Structure 1
Amino acid sequence: MAYKHDYDKILTRLTIILSKLNDGEALSVKELAKEFNTSERTIQRDFNERLVSFPIYQEKKKWKMQDGFRVEKTKSLEDEIVLDIIEKITEGIGGKFSTKAHKLLSKIKNEDFNPIYTKLNIEDISDRLADIQVLEGAIKEKREVECWYDDERHPKYKTVLKPLKIVNFEGFWYLIALRGDTLKKYYLKNISTPKILERTFTTDSKIESLLENSISIWFQEDVEPFEVKLYADKAATKYFQRRPLPTQKIESLSEDGTMEFSVKITHEMEILPLVKYWIPHLHILEPEWVKEIMHEDLAIYLTNSSNLLR
């Protein structure tokens, strides 16, 4: 309970500070420390770590929002539609993230009514916003981070990471980072108390290409992509035409509405869960070894189901 109380105080304080900056105020660390009944060191950490990703700067011991970045009401119909969609996406995340996003969007929207509805199963990370601010700052500045991680299989341990991207796959949030020189994926909610270190690091554009071509969090680094060919019946074809997979290439499209297509992946688990989701409308054609894994999984499923029904 103590942790949650501390988090609530931090989130409330950061929200108020950003609101003041957005309203054009110049903020003093000393005055904010008195207002929030905390130390000047804590407020300075807010600016240097938790709010580092925002367009703010310090001038003559006062913190300000950069010109041209203040939030103003939109007058464009196109912008209104985009904001409506963003609002509905944040509602799908839920929790305090949704509440704070709604308050922020209300500052730039001209009306509260939203004619758009979405249903997105996105994990609520509103209890991690303070930590995410630290990670975002480290990613932008290319600085290493020290943090605790609990992978649910081993005792909680402290580690040093080179954070590259915060990503969302299938509704779940992850941190893509280098541990040493090895690319790793960390479940975001299992990361705690991140602290930015002084050490910096360099990266190349390879991670961007990996993410763009990946289907799920199972993508692998330093693995030559291989091609998987699939057959989609009429029901599945419509879906994969409307929402193509990364690297998807149509091999043939029949008059009966069926389709053969291929994708490139780096791990079989990028495609197997998707095929299982689409049973019986999607089938693996090649390579044979991936098809065999699929058949083995189905055989185990059918055997277990039969045993349960006895």
Structure 2
Amino acid sequence: MGYKHDYDKILTRLTMILARLNDGESLSVKELSEEFNVSSKTIQRDFNERLSAFHIYQDKRKWKMQDGFSIEKTKSLQEQLVLDIIEKITEGIGGKFATTSHKLLSKIKNEDFNPIYTKLNIEDISDKFNEIQVIEKAIKDKTELECSYENEREGVFKATIQPLKIVNYEGFWYLVAFRDERIQKYYIKTLSNIQPTTQTFETDDEIEELLENSINIWFKADIEPFKVRIYADKIATKYFKRRALPTQTIETLSQDGTMEFNVKITDEMEIIPIIKYWIPHLRVLEPEWINDIIDEELKIYFNNRELNSDRS
């Protein structure tokens, strides 16, 4: 929490200094250090490093904005924050992707200080860059791909697919594609021997809506969505009001801070992991058969736990 507090203070200080410079004020390092209760060295670093991307200069120990130059405060600061956030997201991906994106963003931002911190567990797929380029081109050109794919049930097999979208769910990368007239999902790291073809295919916009309404990679394209009604206690309610699930609609919101809400899904595994994660703060009200699945899996968990305790 200390780092977050420091970043908040730095961002506030820089924003105030920049706004005053933009208003035509001449600012001294000594006065600013006393005003913000930081060292003169810190303020000097603000001007020399953190605000170096803006048209400012020092004249007789006073910092000023260059004549004839002004910034649109809201727009410029918002754009700067967006770039900072994008940079931190790409750092979460790691590998070659993060290195390359940092170089590109540095050309735009022209500074290294970033007051934003994010914690994202996104899979590094920089070792798949060449294959992903082939996939991207096929998606844009709407041409089929020949590839090999491996899964636990079928082992390694060859397939001809019609690639639709590269997607990321819960930090993992997948390719959504048509195969045998059905939408399939492929974990990108298990795709190999990807070869482009000249065979074209047609598609429609339904895939966009399907992905928009999906919660995770378990979605089904050929299943009619069904409704799940969920009870949330006041702890879970705060979260699901802030970050609603796709297709989530609130049914009742009680004065005690609890709520009941509905979610439309196409597969029970879209919602079961979420319910398990939030136990005991979420409870499925209907359909009952989803509760039966959760109850059975919890029984298995506790039985295995007891067995392991007896062995030890």
TM-score normalised over the length of structure 2: 0.74
Q: Is 1:99 aligned to 2:130, yes or no?
A: no
CA distance in 1, matches of 2:96, 2:260: 44
Residue type of the alignment partner of 1:157: F
Question: Could you tell me which residue of structure 2 aligns to residue 211 of structure 1?
Answer: 211
Question: Could you tell me which residue of structure 2 aligns to residue 108 of structure 1?
Answer: 108
* Aligned positions of 1:70-109 closer than 5 A: 76-109=76-109
Q: CA RMSD in A?
A: 1.2
**3-state DSSP class of the match of 1:156?**
strand
**3-state DSSP class of the match of 2:155?**
coil
**Count of aligned pairs:** 236
CA distance in 1, matches of 2:309, 2:278: 24
Question: Could you tell me which residue of structure 1 aligns to residue 160 of structure 2?
Answer: 160
Residue type of the alignment partner of 1:109: K
CA distance in 2, matches of 1:216, 1:102: 29
CA distance in 1, matches of 2:180, 2:202: 12
**3-state DSSP class of the match of 1:121?**
coil
CA distance in 2, matches of 1:286, 1:184: 28
Quote how far apart the aligned CAs of 1:302 are: 1.3
* Aligned positions of 1:125-274 closer than 5 A: 125-274=125-274
CA distance in 1, matches of 2:152, 2:121: 23
CA distance in 1, matches of 2:193, 2:83: 32
* Aligned positions of 1:119-130 closer than 5 A: 119-130=119-130
Question: Are residues 303 and 155 of structure 1, via their aligned partners in 2, closer, same or farther at CA, if it must alter by over 3 Å?
Answer: closer
Question: Could you tell me which residue of structure 2 aligns to residue 31 of structure 1?
Answer: none
CA distance in 1, matches of 2:152, 2:173: 16
Question: Could you tell me which residue of structure 1 aligns to residue 40 of structure 2?
Answer: none
Quote how far apart the aligned CAs of 1:303 are: 1.3
CA distance in 1, matches of 2:154, 2:294: 30
Q: Is 1:275 aligned to 2:275, yes or no?
A: yes
Residue type of the alignment partner of 1:268: E
* Aligned positions of 1:27-66 closer than 5 A: none
Quote how far apart the aligned CAs of 1:201 are: 0.3
Quote how far apart the aligned CAs of 1:168 are: 0.5
**3-state DSSP class of the match of 2:305?**
helix
Question: Could you tell me which residue of structure 2 aligns to residue 303 of structure 1?
Answer: 303
**3-state DSSP class of the match of 1:111?**
coil
CA distance in 2, matches of 1:182, 1:239: 35
Question: Are residues 152 and 96 of structure 1, via their aligned partners in 2, closer, same or farther at CA, if it must alter by over 3 Å?
Answer: farther
CA distance in 2, matches of 1:80, 1:104: 14
**3-state DSSP class of the match of 1:220?**
coil
**What are the ranges of 5 or more consecutive residues in structure 2 without an aligned counterpart?**
1-74
Quote how far apart the aligned CAs of 1:296 are: 1.0
Quote how far apart the aligned CAs of 1:222 are: 1.6
CA distance in 1, matches of 2:173, 2:254: 38
Question: Could you tell me which residue of structure 2 aligns to residue 36 of structure 1?
Answer: none
Quote how far apart the aligned CAs of 1:278 are: 0.6
Quote how far apart the aligned CAs of 1:293 are: 0.9
Quote how far apart the aligned CAs of 1:193 are: 3.0
Question: Could you tell me which residue of structure 1 aligns to residue 21 of structure 2?
Answer: none
Quote how far apart the aligned CAs of 1:298 are: 1.1
CA distance in 1, matches of 2:220, 2:288: 21
Question: Could you tell me which residue of structure 2 aligns to residue 15 of structure 1?
Answer: none
CA distance in 2, matches of 1:186, 1:87: 28
Residue type of the alignment partner of 2:87: E
Quote how far apart the aligned CAs of 1:273 are: 0.3
Structure 1 stretches (4+) deviating beyond 3 angstroms?
Answer: 152-155
**What are the ranges of 5 or more consecutive residues in structure 1 without an aligned counterpart?**
1-74
**3-state DSSP class of the match of 2:151?**
coil
Residue type of the alignment partner of 2:126: S
Larger mean CA deviation between 249-258 and 150-159 belongs to 150-159
**3-state DSSP class of the match of 1:273?**
helix
CA distance in 2, matches of 1:79, 1:133: 28
CA distance in 2, matches of 1:218, 1:177: 14
- Per-residue CA shift, 1:272-300, capped at 9, x if unaligned? 00000111111111001111111111111
Residue type of the alignment partner of 1:257: G
Residue type of the alignment partner of 1:154: E
CA distance in 1, matches of 2:276, 2:162: 35
CA distance in 1, matches of 2:152, 2:101: 31
